Chain A
């Protein structure tokens, strides 16, 4: 197993950012973390990179090739970061150094600029370009080239394609998928839209308010969501199906509870169309549905 999360969590003072996450990823496997803002998907990605704000504490276990990232000294973590585990961020203009040419950024990440630029589908001349001279899609490709420069075993891509136009978006996702297959690299995608990652990720992990609420193979999970939250997210996405034009779209009113809210019971209960009184008593544990699927809900669909 490449990555194994076992009761993984994160707290910051009295705030519970993530709790009780169980997930695993094999080499060459792809998994998408999905959920709304505040669901904890980016927090989980940053926690794995050990890039949470100072004072944050990790709980449980997160093993990368057997090494528990939660127990690692910062000096050892620094040796892993960018080499064994690497991340592509949402805003390439902020993640790239504006005062360094593209080629040098790739070289500093430990890779051969010419080979890597070709690998991500950019011309060799791109090496001479400053970040501001590149289009959004080109910047994202340069960023991916730096992220894979040291051949990481695990690549995390946080909304890596969301800000791009659809043609470029599809290309970036296809590129990530090709790199995954060619290098038997684990790929962890982060997105708020089930529909955007449905074609790229083999498996989905749906997060809600810092908890894992459902996980399973993408096609099955989208065809028959078990958690009412997954079903609501899927219904809202225009990228999974085409509703009749100019009709009222289904919505998911309300907001998820924040990390300071310590309500008993299921954290989705206040927005859930299927909530019963017992949902407010205790947090439902993640229960196995079959060999590949699990859901944390007392009254699944």
Chain B
């Protein structure tokens, strides 16, 4: 089957440093690809390039179908505090000339899909809990049926009790809608639970990419082993990281 996302030879320089040094990556339909790596490995730069928020300095990015959406770590920062929940969730439909009754119907359906009551539609983000805000962000991301969702640390700011709810939601979106996902996280347990394949970013390169089970059972690259065991690489130890 054709990949939903194809990256070939992506490079990025920021502030005189090579952040990404030639990234090749594919995400299949209905696949969740995990991306792990130490802080500063280039994960967020890669996420911004996949989302089209930043341009790569070299290489090609190809999306097979229209629509890529994002969910970030801090739901507070990504929701306009002056807008109602209904308006925030319907935002991706505004540019698509969806008529008002249809928009209202899909907004309520999107809220229901993430387990939020319809009564929340008229409220503002400020009156919601952190878990509710992250669910609003997911409802907004899914309302226009994107082909690909980029989730950058979507659960790390949430309570354990809410993390499980959000992970269940993302799992359902993949199984029921065939959503493809790039799931970026420091949380190896969440990665292992949700992802079919995992890519390891180290020093601007994908140094290992394997089915999740294989990667966790038999990591091959030293950078992967360091991430999995919690022991630093000799180079990082020397830097005092």
Could you list which residues of chain A lie within 8 angstroms of chain B, going by C-beta atoms? 36-37, 121-123, 126, 135-138, 141, 162-171, 192-195, 232-233, 236-239, 242-243, 245-246, 248-253, 255
Closest to B195 in A: A245
One of B20-28, B58-66, B183-191 at the interface:
B183-191
A37 to B76 Cα, complex, angstroms: 15
In the complex, residue of chain A having the shortest beta-carbon distance to the beta carbon of B233: A167
- Whether B13 sits at the interface, judged by CB under 8 Å, is no
Scan residues 172-206 of chain B and give those whose CB is less than 8 A from a CB of chain A.
Answer: 186-190, 192-194, 196
A192 to B, closest residue via Cβ: B159
Cα separation A265 to B213 with both chains bound (whole Å): 46
Asked if residues A252 and B39 are in contact (CB atoms below 8 Å), the reply is: no
The number of residue pairs between A and B whose CB atoms lie closer than 8 Å in the complex comes to 101
Q: A121, A233, A238, A246: which contacts B190 (Cβ < 8 A)?
A: A238
Interface residues as binary, B165-176 with A (CB distance below 8 Å gives 1, 0 otherwise): 101100100000
**Is the Cβ of A248 less than 8 Å from the Cβ of B226?**
no
A-B contact pairs, 20 of them (CB 8 A): A36-B162, A122-B240, A123-B239, A126-B240, A138-B240, A165-B39, A167-B229, A167-B230, A169-B186, A233-B161, A236-B160, A238-B189, A239-B189, A242-B189, A245-B194, A246-B196, A249-B193, A250-B164, A252-B161, A253-B165
How many interface residues does B have (CB within 8 Å)? 38
- A253 contacts which chain B residues (CB < 8 A)? 165
Contact of B226 among A167, A169, A249 (CB under 8 A): A167
Which residues of chain A come closer than 8 Å to B171, judged between CB atoms? 246, 248
**Chain B residue contacts of A238, Cβ below 8 A:** 163-164, 187, 189-190, 193
Closest to A241 in B: B189
Min CB distance B111 to A, Å, is 16
Q: Given the complex of chains A and B, what is the CA–CA distance between A242 and B187 in angstroms?
A: 13
Q: Secondary structure of the A side of the interface?
A: loop
Query: Are A251's CB and B161's CB within 8 A?
Result: yes
Judged by a CB distance under 8 angstroms, whether B241 is at the interface is yes
- Contact (Cβ within 8 A) A138 B241: yes
**Is residue B92 within 8 Å, beta carbon to beta carbon, of the partner chain?**
no
- Closest CB in chain A relative to B72 CB, distance in Å: 14
Q: Is B38 an interface residue (CB 8 A)?
A: yes
Cβ-based interface call for B78 (8 A): no
B3 near A: Cβ within 8 Å?
Answer: no
A248 to B213, CA, bound (A): 18
B6 within 8 A of A: no
Bound CA–CA A242/B212 (angstroms): 13
Contact of B207 with A by CB under 8 A: no
State how many angstroms separate the Cβ of A136 from the closest Cβ of chain B: 5
B241 touching A166 by the CB < 8 A rule?
A: no
In the bound assembly, the distance between CA atoms of A90 and B63 in angstroms comes to 38
| Chain B 143-162 interface mask (CB, 8 Å, partner A; 1/0) | 00000000000001001111
Scoring B40, B160, B193, B241 by chain A CB atoms within 10 A of each residue's CB, the highest score goes to: B160
Smallest CB separation, A21 vs chain B (Å): 21
For residue B130, which residues in chain A have a CB less than 8 angstroms away from its CB? 37
Contact of B193 among A123, A243, A251, A252 (CB under 8 A): A243
Q: Kindly name the residue among B129, B130, B186 whose own CB sees the greatest number of chain A CB atoms within 10 A.
A: B186
- Top 10 nearest A-B pairs (CB, nearest first) are A170-B230, A238-B189, A252-B161, A249-B164, A122-B240, A36-B159, A165-B186, A251-B164, A236-B164, A236-B160
Measured in the bound complex, the distance between the Cα atoms of B230 and A168 in whole Å is: 7
A193 to B158: give the CA distance in the assembly, Å: 10
Whole-angstrom distance between the alpha carbons of A72 and B162 in the complex?
39
Beyond A135-B39, A167-B229, A236-B163, 11 additional pairs, beta carbon < 8 A: A123-B239, A135-B40, A165-B39, A165-B227, A167-B226, A167-B230, A167-B236, A192-B159, A195-B160, A245-B194, A255-B129
User: Which residues of B are found within 8 Å of A246, using beta-carbon distances?
Assistant: 171, 193-194, 196
CB distance from A222 to the nearest CB of B (A): 13
The answer for the CA separation of A165 and B36 in the assembled complex, in Å, is 9
* Contact yes or no, B168 A166, CB < 8 A: no
Q: Report B-chain residues with C-beta under 8 Å of the C-beta of A239.
A: 189
Residues of B within 8 A of A243 (CB): 193
Residues of A within 8 A of B236 (CB): 167
**A192–B232 alpha-carbon span in the complex (Å):** 25
Which A residues are in CB contact (< 8 Å) with B221?
none
| Inter-chain contacts of B220 with A (CB < 8 A) | none
Tell me the residues in window 101-129 of chain B with beta carbons closer than 8 Å to chain A beta carbons.
Answer: 129
Known contacts A238-B189, A251-B161: does B213 contact A245 (CB below 8 Å)?
yes
